[in-house]
């Protein structure tokens, strides 16, 4: 155990009191050993990585924080071998990355080496171990596009397990790791496109084909075009900075958890009830399977022979703004505010309490619900706080 400190110093929102205790092992084996000791103490425990997606109550946490700070990027030996079919040399590279490695430092490392696949995820704060938990995504890329597997210390078995991508239930800002599978991500394995061979012909290391209109527009190219990796990274960082989504101590909007609300996914019937100007993106043809507790069951479920229910993703930012909550909004006397650059982010303007953040979030949720009947969901993990 090491001296506990206020969690406001370990999280990007800069709110939260101290835990009862904290461990911060720096090697993977020590992380395994010390985590098993903590689990054997029958105490409450909280897993913390880069702290960019966690908002902790002012009273702190009555338990032990397992702070993941392990570092290291390893190129796996089989990266240059033929692909799984044996058809010629692979143009792929596989990396095993320690969970505590800062995500954006990994992206910078990959871009520097000409490895494409995560360049549009530049500037996302937090650690690599947390990336699959949230299935981080931005500007047309998600970690699920490149993730091969994770090494996972299971709370249930106490053993280290390898979980393949297909086992992780990766979806829009979610995974089985977020939905109840308990344990610690020790390392992630990624497969990226090694552009070295084509760079010798084209004279440049090009990123993956662009999938996001705003990014393509900012680059002055068409969707599907490929642009030099470093140019993509620089443009993404500039776009994120314009929304206050890059950690920058000189930016008054920087102390936040990034997007505080996820874009809601609703049925097509609900989407049709919104104004025609509401941005909408069709998602999938059917509702995903889900378990419904028996006490909540009221005949919910597909009707035999009925048409499949279509899902639509809405813009949380649009819903917030159209409900009357503007950029820079704050409740009277509060030091928590909506970002002056983007309504999806709530910020600590200096000296805000966690309760002030929660009060503002409740107000935003209430305005959107009252205006449109849509329930927004918070993106960060809330510790000791309820909305």
155 and 114 belong to one structural domain: yes
228 and 280 belong to one structural domain: no
Evaluate whether 185 touches 132 at the Cβ level (below 8 Å): yes
Q: How far apart are the first and last CA of the chain?
A: 32
Quick check: is 146 catalytic? no
247 pLDDT exceeds 90?
no
- In three state form, how does the secondary structure of 35-88 look? HHHHHCCCCCEEEECCCCCEEECCCCEEEEEEECCCCCEEECHHHHCECCCCCC
Of 242, 241, 335, 376, the closest CA to residue 14 belongs to 335
- pLDDT average, residue stretch 104-131: 97
**Within a domain: 247:** no
Rounded distance between C-alpha atoms, residue 83 and residue 231, angstroms: 29
Give counts: helices (H), strands (E), the chain: 9, 19
Predicted local confidence at residue 1, as pLDDT? 81
Predicted local confidence at residue 41, as pLDDT? 95
**Within a domain: 248:** no
Of 106, 127, 107, the closest CA to residue 50 belongs to 127
Where is the domain boundary, 20, 46, 67?
A: 67
Strands 61-67 and 141-142: unpaired
Q: Tens digit of pLDDT for each residue in 77-97?
A: 865 444 444 433 468 999 999
- pLDDT average, residue stretch 341-347: 94
Rounded distance between C-alpha atoms, residue 72 and residue 375, angstroms: 40
Predicted local confidence at residue 243, as pLDDT? 87
**Within a domain: 300:** no
Joined tokens for residue 130 = 């947390």
- Number of structural domains, the chain? 3
**Within a domain: 249:** no
114 and 13 belong to one structural domain: no
Catalytic residue among 22, 96, 173, 367: 173
Of 218, 307, 240, the closest CA to residue 103 belongs to 240
Rounded distance between C-alpha atoms, residue 1 and residue 304, angstroms: 57
Domain range spanning residue 61? 7-67
Q: Tens digit of pLDDT for each residue in 316-328?
A: 999 999 999 999 9
Predicted local confidence at residue 198, as pLDDT? 84
Of 53, 24, 108, the closest CA to residue 121 belongs to 108
42 and 101 belong to one structural domain: no
CATH number at residue 347: 3.90.78.10
Catalytic residue among 259, 323, 356, 367: 259
Predicted local confidence at residue 173, as pLDDT? 87
Predicted local confidence at residue 245, as pLDDT? 85
- Lowest pLDDT segment from 67-76, 162-171, 249-258, 295-304: 295-304
**Within a domain: 217:** yes
Evaluate whether 126 touches 247 at the Cβ level (below 8 Å): no
Predicted local confidence at residue 307, as pLDDT? 59
123 and 270 belong to one structural domain: no
Where is the domain boundary, 34, 67, 100?
A: 67
108 and 141 belong to one structural domain: yes
102 and 138 belong to one structural domain: yes
81 and 195 belong to one structural domain: yes
Quick check: is 173 catalytic? yes
Of 280, 349, 286, 284, the closest CA to residue 316 belongs to 280
DSSP 198-215: HHHHHSS-B-PPP--HHH
Predicted local confidence at residue 306, as pLDDT? 54
**Within a domain: 296:** no
208 and 77 belong to one structural domain: yes
265 and 181 belong to one structural domain: no
Q: pTM of whole model > 0.75?
A: yes
Reported confidence tier of residue 285, pLDDT bands at 50, 70, 90: very low
207 and 338 belong to one structural domain: no
CATH number at residue 34: 3.30.43.10
Rounded distance between C-alpha atoms, residue 359 and residue 7, angstroms: 19
Q: Tens digit of pLDDT for each residue in 141-187?
A: 999 999 999 999 999 999 999 999 999 999 988 899 998 899 999 99
Where is the domain boundary, 186, 219, 242?
A: 242
Place of tokens 């994120």: 240
At 30, phi and psi to the nearest 5?
-65, -35
48 pLDDT exceeds 70?
yes
178 and 43 belong to one structural domain: no
**Within a domain: 176:** yes
Please state, in angstroms and as integers, the Cα–Cα distance from residue 216 to each residue in 43, 211, 227, 233, 285, following that order: 49, 8, 9, 12, 27
Q: Tens digit of pLDDT for each residue in 184-226?
A: 999 999 999 999 888 877 778 999 999 999 999 999 999 999 9
**Within a domain: 318:** yes
CATH number at residue 154: 3.30.465.10
């Amino acid at each position: 155990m090491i001296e506990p400190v206020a969690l406001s110093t370990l999280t990007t929102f800069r709110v939260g009191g101290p835990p009862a205790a904290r461990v911060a092992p720096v090697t993977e084996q020590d992380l395994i050993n010390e985590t098993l000791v903590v689990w054997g103490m029958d105490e409450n425990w909280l897993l913390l990585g880069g702290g960019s997606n966690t908002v902790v109550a002012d009273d702190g946490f009555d338990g032990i924080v397992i702070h993941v700070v392990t570092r290291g990027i390893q190129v796996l030996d089989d990266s240059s071998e033929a692909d799984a079919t044996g058809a010629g040399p692979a143009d792929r590279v596989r990396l095993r990355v320690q969970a505590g490695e800062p995500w954006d430092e990994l992206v910078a490392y990959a871009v520097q080496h000409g490895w494409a696949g995560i360049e549009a995820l530049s500037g996302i704060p937090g650690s690599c171990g947390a990336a699959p938990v949230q299935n981080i995504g931005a500007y047309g890329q998600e970690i699920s596009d490149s993730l091969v597997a994770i090494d996972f210390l299971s709370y249930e078995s106490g053993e280290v397990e390898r979980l393949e991508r297909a086992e992780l239930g990766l979806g829009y800002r979610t995974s089985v790791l977020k939905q109840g599978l308990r344990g610690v991500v020790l390392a992630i394995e990624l497969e990226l496109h090694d552009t070295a061979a084509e760079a010798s012909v084209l004279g440049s290391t090009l990123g993956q084909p662009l999938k996001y209109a705003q990014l393509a527009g900012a680059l002055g190219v068409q969707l599907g075009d490929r642009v030099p990796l470093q140019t993509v990274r620089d443009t993404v960082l500039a776009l994120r900075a314009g929304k206050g989504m890059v950690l920058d101590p000189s930016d008054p909007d920087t102390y936040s958890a990034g997007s505080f609300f996820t874009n809601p996914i609703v049925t097509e019937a609900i989407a049709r009830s919104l104004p025609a100007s509401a941005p909408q993106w069709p998602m999938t043809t059917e509702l995903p399977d889900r378990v419904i507790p028996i006490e909540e069951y009221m005949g919910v479920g597909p009707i035999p022979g009925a048409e499949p229910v279509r899902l639509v993703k809405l813009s949380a930012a649009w819903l917030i703004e159209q409900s009357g909550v503007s950029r820079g909004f704050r409740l009277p006397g509060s030091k928590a505010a909506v970002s002056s650059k983007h309504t999806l982010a709530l910020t600590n303007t200096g000296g805000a309490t966690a309760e002030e953040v929660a009060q503002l979030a409740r107000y935003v949720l209430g305005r959107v619900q009252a205006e449109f009947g849509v329930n927004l969901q918070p993106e960060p993990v809330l510790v000791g706080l309820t909305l």
